[in-house]
Structure 1
Amino acid sequence: MKVVDFHCDVLCKLLLDEHLTFQDSKPGSLDVTYERLKAAGTVLQTFAIYIPESLNGRLEPILESVDRFYQQVLACKDMMLVRSAQDLELCLKTGKIGALLSLEGVDGLQGQISMLRILQQLGIRAAGLTWNHANWAADGAMEPRGGGLTAAGRRFVEECNKLDIMVDVSHLSERAFWDVAELSQKPFLASHSNARAICDHPRNLNDRQIVEIINKDGMLGITFVPWFVSGAETVVIDDLLRHIEHICELGGEKHIMLGSDFDGIDRYIGGLSHPGELSSLTDALLKRYTSLQTEQFMSGNALRFLRSNLPVC
């Protein structure tokens, strides 16, 4: 079954360790590798640019991450940069694996909207304003004061709309989430967040937020971060399915996609530690849902959203 995953942190690992390789990677070094994407039947993988706090606040690490993306990911024979809806269709037609570039936290842009335009030219097609803390654009989900968008953050969202860059609300404070919902003229997404009603973690979304994303024709990326899935010591795939079931009960069946967060975690759901094991998730879904519903969760919903929200060239 085809797979679309809207979030992984491969680029951060490649940034921090120049000896790592995306292709022919040594066992245990990366969760997401070229070989595993091919084995999983992946048709599109989103690669997030996340800059760890030790390097954050400057543009250079962002550009270096873009360079790693071009030099390692796109250097693989069957990987193809997806900038437009036409690129996506070409991937599907030729059997290439689409590679979509996203930005997780805008700290390094230092409030300069011109830097966003440059990154759009380099291939950025989705952007989250924060990681967990506050920056010049907004407060993150773990920032105690829980503030919303700044004036500069509002300009950022407006520019994303103009540039056909999808706005990602996964790491935002709730107040900033609602600011985006009010301001954005285009559908937005939560690339890697689960349902707070099932697992009460600040990074998850409450029911009102989930319904708002559904009503705005946005997307929810179900994430495999164990502590976003369950408070239990051992987390299994059935725990993940409870989040999917809850979102479906809220009317979100056509708004669910995957946002694994592979390579951004050091603990895993049992039987779901890298893309090569995604067949276990497919098998579990098929026990509860139809083949069409399962196909929608694994890739179909995300592809529909991308066809409507990527630039048309």
Structure 2
Amino acid sequence: MNIIDLHCDALLKLQEAKGTLSFANSPELHTNKERLKKGKVKVQCFAIFIEPDVPSDQKFQVALEQVHYFYDEILGKNPEMKQIKRWSDFDTLKDGEIGTMLTLEGVEAIGNDLKKLNILYQLGVRSIGLTWNHANLAADGAEEPRGGGLTVFGKEIVRWNNEHHLLTDVSHLCEKSFWDVMELAKFPIASHSNAHKLCNHPRNLTDEQARAMFKKGGMIHVVYYPKFIRDEGSASIDDLIAHIDHFCSLGGKKQIGLGSDFDGISFYVKDLEDASKSQNVIEKLLRYFKEDEVKGFAYQNFLDHRPDDMVK
């Protein structure tokens, strides 16, 4: 069964390796082409993520370096990898092709300059998370003790996203920032988040937040990181499925998807260590849910809730 995966951090690994990794088959990449094909991942979203210790005046350059590796190493050397720039591009992928879409995990790279965000948009970014776990000029993140909401600039970005039919990603926001986004965003999404009820981590969504997402037509894509699945110890695929089941109980059966966080995690769910194992999730889901429901989680729910293309 084909899968749309909303989040991985392969671009960070490619950029830090400075051209020494091959996207085709380097074992260091959980989401290399070989593994994506084996796991039947039909679309992989690639996040631009800047490490917090990168000096502010170098962050945009690092973002552009990651985009370079997306174009040069992923697209340039692998003709079956096809970039998605329009929402309708999901519908035109052929057999044997894998769709790729750029996302932005935190707007630190743009400083306070929307022109830089527009450059990233022109390069293909179609989903924007305002921050990672900390605070920046747009918002406070999930691990920022202050717990403030969106700044004036952050609200400007959400309106910009709306105007350009981009997703606004809530996965790393603190609660106050989350509610500010929900007030403004036309296209909210959680690209890689689980249920706080089952795992008490600030990165996870409360039942109230999840219901608000579902009410607004937003998608929640569950993440494969054990620390976001169980409070203690290792995690199984059954433990991950418990989060899907919980979101279903809140009314989100048709608004749940997958967001692995491969290449951004250092601990793994058993039998789900890289993209090649992705079908293990599907096989387990089919034991608990109807086939049409599992197709929804795998890809169809996202296709049903994606934005429309902008009319040019």
Is the TM value for this pair above 0.5? yes
Q: Select 1:77's aligned residue among 47, 71, 79.
A: 79
Query: What's 1:89 paired with?
Result: 91
Where does 1:134-283 land on structure 2 (aligned, <5 Å)? 134-184=135-185, 186-283=186-283
Q: Secondary structure at the match of 1:254?
A: coil
Q: Secondary structure at the match of 2:254?
A: helix
Structure 1 8/56 Cα, relative in aligned 2: closer, same or farther at 3 Å?
A: farther
What amino acid is the match of 1:242? A
TM-score (norm 1): 0.96
Query: What's 1:49 paired with?
Result: 48
| Partners of 2:23 and 2:309 in 1: CA distance | 26
TM-score (norm 2): 0.96
State how many pairs are aligned: 308
CA positional deviation for 1:56? 5.4
| Partners of 2:62 and 2:265 in 1: CA distance | 20
Query: What's 1:118 paired with?
Result: 119
Contact 1:84 1:312 in 2 (8 A): no
Return structure 1 stretches of 4+ with deviation > 3 angstroms: 308-313
Q: Secondary structure at the match of 1:80?
A: strand
Structure 1 94/310 Cα, relative in aligned 2: closer, same or farther at 3 Å?
A: farther
Root-mean-square deviation over aligned CA pairs: 1.2
| Partners of 2:24 and 2:188 in 1: CA distance | 32
* 1:130-181 CA-partner distances (Å, limit 9, x unpaired): 0000000000000001000001111111111111221000001100000011
CA positional deviation for 1:281? 0.8
CA positional deviation for 1:275? 1.2
| Partners of 1:312 and 1:4 in 2: CA distance | 25
Q: Secondary structure at the match of 1:47?
A: strand
Contact 2:165 2:187 in 1 (8 A): no
| Partners of 2:202 and 2:282 in 1: CA distance | 28
Which consecutive residues of structure 2, in runs of 5 or more, have no partner in the other structure?
none
Q: Secondary structure at the match of 1:134?
A: coil
| Partners of 1:150 and 1:220 in 2: CA distance | 24
| Partners of 2:25 and 2:120 in 1: CA distance | 28
Which consecutive residues of structure 1, in runs of 5 or more, have no partner in the other structure?
none
Where does 1:271-310 land on structure 2 (aligned, <5 Å)? 271-306=271-306, 308-310=307-309
| Partners of 2:43 and 2:25 in 1: CA distance | 19
